[in-house]
Each structure stands twice: as structure tokens, then as C-alpha cells.
Chain A
Amino acid sequence: MIQAHRLTKRFGSFTAIAEVSFRVEEGEIVGFLGPNGAGKSTTMRILGGVFPPTAGYARVAGYDVVDDSLRARQAIGYFPERVALYTDMTVREYLGYVADMKHVPAKEQAREIARVMDRCGVTHMGHRLIGTLSKGYRQRVGIAQALLGQPKVLILDEPTAGLDPEQVTEVRKLIRELRGHSTVILSTHILPEVEATCDRVLIINQGRLLAVDTPRNLNRRLRQLSQIHVEAQAPLVSLLETLRQIDGVVRVEATHTDHNVVAVTVLTDPTKDLRGVIAERVVRQGWPLLEIRPVQLSLEDIFLELVHRPDEVSVNPGG
């Protein structure tokens, strides 16, 4: 449904993305993950027809985004990173304008607009000027305009950025509901977001695609050791000694000591969840256990891992 082949974009002498290739199959939800300036928006703009690549090509719904630009754009819904809408129009007026721009037939427009407004929870805001809406509602109107016309492919550039936690959950739910109806590519720099919504994840850093895989595989491949953070009121040496004796613990590192509270990181075999055992041992010694939690692999960790040992991670670009 989406095919990128050795996409390269240069701005002057600066290369924003280089040789990016991947495929997204019909009905898939794919996450595009990378730090600031990685080239996510640049890639998505090329797919959305905003500007052409300097080299390489991309196809959306079978149409080349440069040679067959109008047909490719007819097949997509695009949500821009910077949600800029015409603030002087009401929500309904604006969606009417978008329906015209997307060539939605006149007699289907009212129904289609009602559908996306309902989908995005803005029905009761139909008569409000967009300029008077809160950021969250503007974001929803932005998503509504992307959904309008039932495009085969949705390109969503950071759809949850800047929303409150409740709305983030709602938007993620909305995206999950699209599964099966549309092919979705969405960008984010939040790792749990792709885990929550995506079938596969593309990881990009400094304009280069580092990995393409399912979130779970990626996590498993990258995480050779699980980390557990433990805080207790205990003498440091005895605590370390006790934890080291647990079966499956590879290493224990003290991270912080403050009066009689100590914090340690326990590195364990990733196939076992040792939190229960650790808690039990600590408590059995009569030490108050203050905190115990798994340490999530952060995006930064993933990049460090990928940059340092890229060959250990499967990269299977299509196209």
C-alpha cells in the first residue's frame, strides 16, 4: 500500500533523509519512531505529496507520489505535525471545505462530515470557530479532516503530541479502530505509543532507517537483560549480597544511597520476571521495601543499541 524506495531528501547541502526504503502492506498500522530531527516528517511529507524526494521514489496505493501525484494524494489522509487549520472558519465549514478539496461528491458530503465529526468526538463543536477551540479539539478536527473521504492510506505525523493523557488514550483507540479499514503510518518519539498501537515499527535516526520490525521482536532482540529498579531501607552490602543469590540475577548495581535508603538496579535474565522473588527476599530480611519496578527500555537506549550493533537487528526493507 505504501512503498518507499531509496528515498533521499536534501535541503541545500543538508541531507534530511538518505536511502530510506520500506513497505507497508494493506491494513497495517506502522509506527515511525525516531528522535527530533530524525527525518520522520520529511519522509511523511514526501509520502503526502508536499514535496518530492531528491532521489528515489515512493508509491502510495499504487500511484507514484511525483508522477501520479494527484491520484496518490486522492488516496491519502494527512495529519500534519503542526496542526494548522483555518481559525476563521467553524468546524463544520472547515470540514465542508476539506470535503470539496478532496472531491467528495456533493450529495455524500453531509453524511461523510457527520461521520468523521462523530468519529473524532467533535459533533458538539460543529458551530464553534476553530480559533476558539482548545488544542486537543483542534487536534481532533485535524484528525477528522484526515479521515474525511475515507482515504486508503493515513499519514499521521505525531497525532498524540501535546494532548493530555486521557485524549492520548482516546486518539490511540481511534487509531486502533482504523485497523482493517485503512493503512496507517504514524510517527512518534514515544516508544510505548508504538507498542500500544502498531503492528510494525520503523526506526529512523539521522535520516537513516535503522530497523524495521514488530515492537515485540525489537524489544526482545534489544533487551538482552531486563532491569529492575529496587529501593529499600537496608544496609547496602547485605542487600546486594541477598539479591545476588537469587537465581536468574546476573548483576546488581547500586545506583543511589541516601541515609538508610538504598536504590539498586538488578539486571536479570529477560525470560523470567523476578520481581516477586526479589520482593519476597527483601521483606523476609525485615527490610522495608519502598519501591520495585521494571525499568523500561527508553528510546535513547534503543538508539544506542542500534547504533552500536546494527547488524544484530533485522532490517528488512521492502521495495
Chain B
Amino acid sequence: MKTTLTICKRELRAYFGSYIAYVLTALFLLLTGGFFYSWLRYFILFGGYVLPSGLWQQVFLDMRYCAMIVLPLVTMRLFAEEKKLGTIELLWTYPVRDLEVVLGKFLGAWLFYVFMLVPTAVAPLVFYTFYQFDLGPFLTGYFGVLLLGTAFIACGMFVSSLTENQVVSAMGTYGILITFWYITWNESVASVAVIEGLLKVSLFDRFLNFARGVVDTQDIVFFVLFVLYFLFLTLASLDARKWRGVGAAS
């Protein structure tokens, strides 16, 4: 447990010790802020809808894309960088479990995501000072964005453990996330039965309920399983060093 925190601290140090944390946060805020502003304008100009479906749903649906664009850039370095630099070899000689390493890195990236997410609430809260809207659907949406991002991070960390090239790591994660996204706008191509099956595993559709302000335990369970599955895959991928070795040769 303590080791997990040590590694998490070291990850946060890596993010905030360089300009990458600020560049990524700026990018994320720019995207989310832009979407919020345009949807808010849209809502005010063409109002008449209720707030949850009229504004929050649109804002949170667009936040998915912001997370999808930015999070692979957050997770790409987690293992790839250590493999490339060779620091991973020394890491394995310390008395730490693989699981602690995985959880520490995961937690580090996750906390960084929370750090990026917090300031996105500033604009809506300023809006709240003018107009006291119902906070329930708003918070549910954030909860959904947090869960969705957590799933992206788990997926990105797994891809990062497969390669020592950060570009490959980011691209691979985009590939997987876009595939999941593709499942959602593919309705007309396959039969109804297939679509219904696909929708069950689609990250993005699972998110829909949260965006609408509805919490369904099934959705939460889905995200938790998704994250656990990718954490498990990451552990399995790290295990490959036992037969493939470490260093430039691997």
C-alpha cells in the first residue's frame, strides 16, 4: 500500500515536474471550456428545454471526446517511458510487487485526471451563481465523466505496458477507444441482436445514462469490470519480462 503511494507520488512528480502536465491541462480546459461555452450559448439562444437534457447532456457527451483526446496522452508514458529510458530494470530490483507498481501508476494518472477535471467545474459553478439549477444531474454527469476517464486510463496504461514507444502507446490507445466509439454509431450496419450485444460493451453508450443524469448500478459495474480487466491485462503484459527479458533487446 505504501509502495503504491510512493510510485503514485513519483508519477505525479513526473507529470508536474515537466511542462506536460500544464500543456495537457490547458488542452483539456480549452476543449471542455469551448464546448461548455458553445452549448451554453446554444441553450440560452434557443432555450425552452429543461436543463439536464438541454445543456448537461450535451456538455457531458462532448466531454467524452475531450477525455478521449487527452487521456491517451496522459497514459502513454506510464510504462513506455520507463522501458525506453531503462529505469524499469531498477524498479524490478526493489522489493515491490508488480501489482503495487501497476496500482501506483494507475493512481498517479487518475489523480492527474482529477486535477484536470476540477477546473472544468468552475464555469458551470459561475453559471450556478446566476441560476440555481438542480445539482443532481450535474454531479451525476461528472461522476460518469470520472468513471469513463478511469476506464480510458486503465486501457491506456495497458497499451503503454506493451511498448517502449510513447507515440505507439498513444496511437494504440486511440485505436482501441475509437473502436469502442465506433460501436455506438454503427447501428444501421448490423442486425438488431448484434447491436444490442455491442451496445452492452460500448464504453460510450454506457456513459449515456450518466449524461442524462441517471445512475444505473449496471453501468457502474460495467466500468468497474472494464477497469479491472485492463489492470489485469497490464499485469499479464508486465509478466512477459520473465521470458522476454528487459532492456533494448526486448
- A residues contacting B by CB (< 8 A) are 11, 42, 45, 48-52, 54, 70-71, 73-74, 76, 78, 80, 82, 84-89, 93, 97-98, 100-103, 145, 155
Chain B residue nearest to A85 in the complex (CB): B87
**Are A73 and B14 in contact, with the CB atoms below 8 A?**
no
Shortest CB distance B232–A (Å) = 20
Shortest CB distance B23–A (Å) = 15
Task: Please encode chain B, from 1 to 45, with 1 for each CB lying within 8 Å of some chain A CB and 0 for all others.
Answer: 011001001100110011000000000000000000000000000
- B residues contacting A by CB (< 8 A) are 2-3, 6, 9-10, 13-14, 17-18, 85-87, 89-97, 241-247, 249
- What 19 new A-B contacts, CB under 8 Å, besides A50-B93, A78-B93, A84-B85? A11-B243, A11-B249, A42-B245, A45-B89, A50-B92, A51-B242, A51-B243, A54-B243, A73-B94, A82-B89, A86-B14, A86-B87, A88-B13, A97-B9, A100-B3, A100-B6, A101-B91, A101-B95, A103-B2
- A11, A50, A54: which has the most chain B beta carbons within 10 Å? A50
Give every chain A residue within 8 A of B96 (Cβ-Cβ): 70, 73, 101
Complex-state Cα separation, A102 to B6, whole angstroms: 11
Complex-state Cα separation, A80 to B94, whole angstroms: 12
**Are A49 and B242 in contact, with the CB atoms below 8 A?**
no
**Are A97 and B93 in contact, with the CB atoms below 8 A?**
no
Chain A residue nearest to B10 in the complex (CB): A97
Give every chain B residue within 8 A of A51 (Cβ-Cβ): 92, 241-243, 245-246
Shortest CB distance A72–B (Å) = 8
**Are B246 and A50 in contact, with the CB atoms below 8 A?**
yes
Partner of B93, one of A11, A76, A93: A76
**Are A89 and B17 in contact, with the CB atoms below 8 A?**
yes
**Are A102 and B2 in contact, with the CB atoms below 8 A?**
no
Give every chain A residue within 8 A of B90 (Cβ-Cβ): 78, 80, 84-85, 145
Shortest CB distance A57–B (Å) = 15
Report the 3 A-B pairs with minimum CB-CB distance, sorted nearest first.
Answer: A84-B86, A78-B93, A100-B6
**Are B87 and A88 in contact, with the CB atoms below 8 A?**
no
Partner of A73, one of B13, B17, B86, B93: B93
Complex-state Cα separation, A31 to B10, whole angstroms: 34
Shortest CB distance A2–B (Å) = 14
**Are A88 and B17 in contact, with the CB atoms below 8 A?**
yes
Shortest CB distance A68–B (Å) = 11
